[in-house]
């Protein structure tokens, strides 16, 4: 007993200094969601208790922070509840569009709770897109899945470059900038709607690190909102666009709810009551 007390005192006075990698691994070990995990260089493969696999990169990336937001803090729990309780949800016709899909955690979380028929993931970063493909591979057998390595745009035939100087500069904070010489093609929501003959967008999630200012420009075609039942959008106030987006959504008959960092819009035309 004396030895244990002495050891506790010693550890208090001289705490063990873990490397950033070991701190990261300790987080994974401590998670109640993770049954087991394996490491392959900088890539980790996590197994949930339902045996679902999740891929994420090491501590030099933002993947764990997004994992924490989606699966531990359940950032989109409110929007899932709103859809279940207030919107007519036909699983055979339901459509999820995840703009700013990152590595796919939001898509996985939302689909776990609602199970969409068609899923569109839009992600401009080639590196994020590689992990997105791994994380959504299992969805192919049960859903109609479209992975789009482009930038969400407000206008057709626009190209973009990746900007890495937004916020903390990590993978979850990259933003896009319109550029005639850009190597990333843009895609509009209306192009997706027309090409796939969509009759509804059940849930539209937009988290594109400030590039929402392009989508909601006054000159943009916003007709996709007419068939959107619920929108969840993270608005980045660095660009002073919140009031404009709120005004557009209210004109389109959306009821707005602020939930954490996101704004949820519910289309009045599609309420059950």
| CATH of the domain spanning 1-60 | 3.30.310
pTM for the complete prediction? 0.89
Cα atoms in the 13 Å half-sphere on the side-chain side of 169: 3
* Domain residue extents for the chain: 1-60, 74-270
Report d(CA 76, CA 264) in Å as an integer. 10
Quick one: which of 104, 121, 120 has its CA closest to 112?
104
Report d(CA 120, CA 99) in Å as an integer. 8
79-133 tens-digit pLDDT? 999 998 888 888 788 999 999 999 999 999 999 989 899 999 999 999 999 999 9
Q: Fold identical between 1-60 and 74-270?
A: no
pLDDT at residue 90, rounded to an integer: 82
| CATH of the domain spanning 74-270 | 3.40.50.150
pLDDT at residue 237, rounded to an integer: 86
């Amino acid at each position: 007993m004396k030895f244990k007390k002495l050891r506790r005192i010693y550890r208090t006075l001289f705490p063990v200094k873990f490397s950033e990698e070991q701190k990261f691994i300790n987080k994974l070990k401590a998670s109640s969601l993770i049954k087991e995990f394996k490491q392959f260089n900088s890539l980790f493969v996590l197994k949930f208790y339902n045996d679902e696999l999740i891929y994420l990169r090491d501590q030099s990336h933002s993947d764990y922070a997004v994992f924490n937001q989606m699966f531990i803090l359940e950032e989109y729990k409110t929007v899932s509840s709103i859809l279940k309780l207030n919107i007519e949800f036909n699983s055979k016709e339901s459509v999820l569009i995840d703009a700013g899909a990152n590595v796919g955690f939001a898509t996985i979380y939302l689909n776990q709770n609602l199970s969409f028929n068609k899923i569109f993931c839009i992600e401009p970063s080639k590196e994020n897109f590689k992990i997105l493909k791994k994380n959504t591979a299992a969805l192919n057998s049960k859903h109609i899945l479209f992975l789009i390595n482009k930038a969400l745009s407000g206008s057709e035939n626009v190209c973009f470059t990746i900007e890495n100087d937004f916020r903390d500069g990590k993978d979850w904070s990259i933003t896009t900038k319109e550029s005639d010489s850009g190597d990333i093609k843009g895609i509009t929501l209306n192009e997706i709607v027309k090409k796939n003959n969509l009759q509804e967008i059940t849930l539209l999630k937009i988290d594109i690190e400030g590039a929402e200012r392009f989508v909601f420009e006054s000159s943009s075609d916003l007709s996709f909102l007419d068939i959107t039942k619920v929108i969840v959008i993270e608005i980045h106030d660095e660009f002073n666009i919140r009031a404009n987006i709120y005004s557009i959504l209210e004109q389109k008959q959306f009821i707005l709810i602020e939930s954490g960092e996101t704004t949820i819009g519910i289309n009045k035309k599609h309420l059950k009551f």
